[in-house]
Structure 1
C-alpha cells in the first residue's frame, strides 16, 4: 500500500476475523522498540473518526508490526484530481476537514510533524467523504520540554523551525497546512526549487508569491488564509481553532 523511510504497509487478511487490514512493518534496523511503541500508544489514545484504528501489535525477528484499519480508497489529492474537484470551494471544504482533525490532535497536545499529501487519505465508506490523517511516526507530545525535529525527508512541507533545527510546536503543523492549501489551490508548490538546499532557503526566507497564471481564479480570502498561516515565527501563526474561524473556511 505504501512505503516510508522506516516502514512498509501491506494489505493483509486478519486470520482471526477474516477481514482485510493494513499491516505496518517497522524495521528493527531503523527504529527502536520504544519508537514503534510510541506510535501504537498514540493510535490507541486517539478516539476520533479521522484517525485510523489500531487493532493489534506484534513483533517478528525483523519488524515491529502494527495491525491497522484498512483505508484503500486512496489519497485525498488523487481523489480530487481524478474527479476534477480541485475547485476552491471543494478545497476549502477538505482543508476545514483536515483542520478539524488537527484541532483534535492539538487539543491532546500532540504535534503530527509530517503533514503532507501522502498522509491524507479519503474515506468513501460514509455518505459525506472525510479525510483520515495517517502516519504518526514523527508525532510528539508538546509539553514543557523542547523538542527538536530533525529534517529527514523532503523539506517542501517543512516549517522554518524544522529546517533551522530549533524547537517545534503545534504551530509547525499549521505551517504545513498553509503549504498544502497553496498546493491544492494552484497545483504548484510555493517553496519547491531545483535542489533540497534551494527549497530550504526559500522556506526559511518565506519566499513565495501568488503567480497570476496559477491563482487568477483564486479568491482574496483564500490568499489571506495562506498569508496568515505562513509566518516565519511560529508564535505568530494561528491555532487550529483560530484557523477554523477564518472566513474562507466558513461553510
Structure 2
C-alpha cells in the first residue's frame, strides 16, 4: 500500500519515514512505533488524540496499521524541516521574527489547551515549519506524551533530555497545562539567545538548575534582545505553576502584539543557534532523567 522512500526522523520509541501511497503516489509520513518497546498504549493514545484534533497546526491522521514489529500511524507529510533550522538560515534573524513564531506556537497550543490537553514534550524537535502556504506556520508534532488534564495528573516515567522539562516533572509532582508554558519559556530563551538557560555539565546539574529556577540574561547573549522579551520569559519560568500565565494571557503580553514597535533592531546571533542545534542532534533522548526522589530529598540544596 505504501512505498518507503527515506527516513526523515527518529523519536525515543519510533522511526518516521517518508512514504508514497501506491495508488495515488501521494507522499505521507509514516510513523513506526517499535513493538519490542511495548508502546502500544502510546501509539493508540496518539492516534486517538490526532483523530480528535481538528486544527491546521496539528498533523492529520490518515490511517493506522499494525505489522509484526510495529504499530503504524500514517500522517500528513511536512518535510520543510524544523522551525529552529528555518530560523537559523535567516541572513538577519530579528527579534520580531521570533515573536511572530512564538505567537504562532501559542495559537496552536491555545487550541490544544482548550481541549484540556497538555502536550508535555514541547521542544525544538517537535516544532516543524510548513512552507507550502503563503505565510509559513508552525506545526506541533509528537503527541505520545500528551494527556487530557483532569484533576491531578502525574508523569511517572522521566525520559528524555532535561533542558525543556518543567520542575514539576523532575520532582514528580502533578503536571498541568502550565507545564507547557514553562517549556515555551525555555524555547523562547533559546530562540533569542542560541543558548539553553538551565543547561549544565551533567543532566543532574541541569535538573538542579531547573528546580532552583537558576537562570539569568547574560549581556553577551542578550544584547540583541529587548526588555519586553526578557519580561515574557520571566513570566513563563515560574517555579509555582499556578503563577505561570495561561496561553491566553501569554498572547496578551506586549511583546507578542502584532503591532508592537519596540523590538530590538539588532540582528540575533544565529551562530550560537547553529551550535545549539548541532548539539541537540547528537543527544540521546532515550536515557532516563535523574530520579525525581533525589531532588525531593535534597530540597535544602535547591534552596526550597
For the aligned pair, the TM-score class normalised by the smaller chain equals over 0.9
2:176 corresponding residue in structure 1: 169
User: Deviation at 1:34?
Assistant: 2.7
Say which of 118, 124, 135 aligns to 1:111. Answer: 118
Q: CA deviation at 1:85?
A: 4.8
Write the deviation string for residues 14-43 of structure 1: whole angstroms up to 9, x where unpaired. 124220110000011213423211100100
SS of residue matched to 1:29:
helix
Partners in 2 of 1:106 and 1:228 — Cα distance? 18
CA contact (8 A) 2:152 2:175 kept: no
Residue among 73, 95, 105 paired with 1:98: 105
Q: Does 1:37 align with 2:54?
A: no
Q: Distance in 2 between matches of 1:121 and 1:71?
A: 7
Q: Does 1:122 align with 2:129?
A: yes
Q: Structure 1 length as normaliser, TM-score?
A: 0.98
- Tell me the SS of whatever aligns to 1:52: coil
Deviations 1:201-222 (A, max 9, x none): 0000000000000101211100
Match 1:153 to one of 154, 160, 166? 160
Provide the rounded CA distance (Å) in 1 between the counterparts of 2:92 and 2:20.
33
Runs of 5+ in structure 2 lacking a partner?
1-7, 259-304
Name the counterpart of 1:57.
64
Distance 2:39 2:13 in 1: 11
The 5 Å alignment of 1:77-96 reads 77-96=84-103
Cα RMSD (Å)? 1.0
What per-residue deviation string (whole Å, max 9, x for no partner) do you get for residues 165-215 of structure 1? Answer: 111000000000000000000000000111100100000000000000010
1:245: which partner in 2? Answer: 252
> Secondary structure in 2 aligned to 1:214?
helix
Q: What residue is the counterpart of 1:222 in the other structure? A: 229
The two structures have a TM-score, normalised by structure 2, of: 0.81
2:145 alignment counterpart = 138
Q: Does the alignment pair 1:195 with 2:206?
A: no
Is 2:18 the partner of 1:25? no
Pick closer, same or farther for the CA change 1:218–1:157 going to 2, 3 Å.
same
Q: Which residue of 2 aligns with 1:181?
A: 188
Q: Is the 8 A contact 2:57 2:108 kept in 1?
A: yes
Asked if structure 2 preserves the Cα contact closer than 8 Å seen for 1:150 and 1:165, the reply is no
Where relative contact order (Cα < 8 A, 6+ residues apart) is larger, the structure is 2
Q: Which residue of 2 aligns with 1:3?
A: 10
- Which is further off, 49-58 or 15-24? 15-24
Deviation of 1:145 (Å) = 4.2
Q: Count matched residues.
A: 251
Q: Alpha-carbon deviation of 1:144?
A: 2.1
Q: Supply the distance in 2 between the matched residues of 1:32 and 1:208 (Cα, whole angstroms).
A: 36
Larger CA deviation: 237-246 vs 144-153: 144-153
